Chains A and B, each alone.
Chain A
């Protein structure tokens, strides 16, 4: 009882409050600075949205909490829970990776052509080309595994059904995830969400981050290919293929895809957004660059302030 009370008063409640406060500040900054509208500053929104998540986490851990007494067993409980979440995630991740490794690989002239495309695209986003695995196992969507030695896994049915241009757009999107280190951010966000499952603010931010991540990668991919309509068309095609297959493969879809929130709105939002991007969205003028640096400066100030101010301390 004492542990529960201590947890609630010193960790859970302050964490919810701190997260909510930080989220309000961050949303105000995004609104006031109008951090949208150009590809240059869209990544800043992602970075800003991470701040309330980190703040809530630090407060939950009992750090960043001057003046409050935190009992040793509360700390042990929290850290134990954190480790348990991490271990669970790591085991399921390793199991999935093994499943992918054991899949039947396709090696033909088309695969070699795609490997070359990956190398060209990787050079354009300035990352080491990932290992490309074209697998015969059915996965509804391509994906990237790993943090440093990344692997790009491409289900063969997509290779068979998409045109060369569509495949290029698809690979560009996946390479954008690598260039942005999204796998690392996602690990962090998922762990925070698992550990702070009680915190509605964290869940909200997690969904915001997922949306931002995909939109940022769409932007980067389109800036490489220069064909927004074709990119949107590719998304629709992959979606339709997914639906055709998943009618017969519901269980696979549930296990593999369910977790990124079966969000109808995100998919529609992405397609609509791409189609409606302003013509000058990707333009980089000196004015825009200056504007970008000013925003970066303000974001740094906000970050320092958020982690210095303690509303519940």
Chain B
């Protein structure tokens, strides 16, 4: 599980409802959660859309609303989150113990262009 796929507290609460019922609308989740706490319908809608974007939920249009279903099981997400936490503690679990050519850098286009210019200059010198 990548960091962006780990669940926050509200996301976890929403997912509990989704895993229990398997097919839910935002209204269904709102009804369950609003019994326990004060929460806005729009907040739940936003969070569920985000979960769908992350690929943890799928949604299908049904009339005027969306019906959401889980794409993974509870244990899969829990396992992924645990792995993520372990990775955080150990700063990644696989790569450090062997040698490789490049680390995963993230340069801007300008930085890459600058480096390319430097290399071209050096090539001309050679």
CB <8 Å contact, A92 and B94: yes
Chain B residues whose CB sits within 8 angstroms of the CB of A96 once the complex forms: 94, 98
User: CB-nearest residue of chain B relative to A96?
Assistant: B94
With A236-B115, A239-B107, A259-B91 known as contacts, the answer to whether A142 contacts B101 (CB < 8 A) is yes
Chain A residues whose CB sits within 8 angstroms of the CB of B94 once the complex forms: 92-93, 95-96, 255-256, 259
User: CB-nearest residue of chain A relative to B4?
Assistant: A250
Report Cα–Cα, A239/B105, bound state, in Å: 8
| 0 or 1 for each of B72-100: is its CB under 8 Å from A? (1 = yes) | 00000000000000110111111111111
With A232-B119, A236-B116 known as contacts, the answer to whether A143 contacts B101 (CB < 8 A) is yes
The A interface, classified by DSSP as helix, strand, loop or mixed, is: helix
With A228-B122, A271-B119 known as contacts, the answer to whether A190 contacts B104 (CB < 8 A) is no
Report Cα–Cα, A52/B95, bound state, in Å: 24
A window 242-292: CB within 8 A of B: 242, 246, 250-251, 253-264, 266-268, 271-272, 274-275
B121 at the interface (CB under 8 A from A): yes
Total chain B interface residues with beta-carbon distance under 8 A: 34
User: CB-nearest residue of chain B relative to A267?
Assistant: B105
Report Cα–Cα, A228/B121, bound state, in Å: 12
Total chain A interface residues with beta-carbon distance under 8 A: 62
User: CB-nearest residue of chain A relative to B118?
Assistant: A275
B20 at the interface (CB under 8 A from A): no
Indicate which residue in B86, B97, B104, B122 contacts A246 across the interface (CB closer than 8 Å).
Answer: B104
With A239-B107, A262-B103, A272-B115 known as contacts, the answer to whether A183 contacts B97 (CB < 8 A) is yes
A50 at the interface (CB under 8 A from B): no
Chain B residues whose CB sits within 8 angstroms of the CB of A88 once the complex forms: 86, 90, 93
Known pairs A239-B105, A259-B93 / 11 extra A-B pairs, C-beta < 8 Å: A85-B90, A194-B90, A229-B119, A229-B123, A229-B126, A242-B104, A259-B90, A260-B96, A260-B100, A266-B103, A275-B118
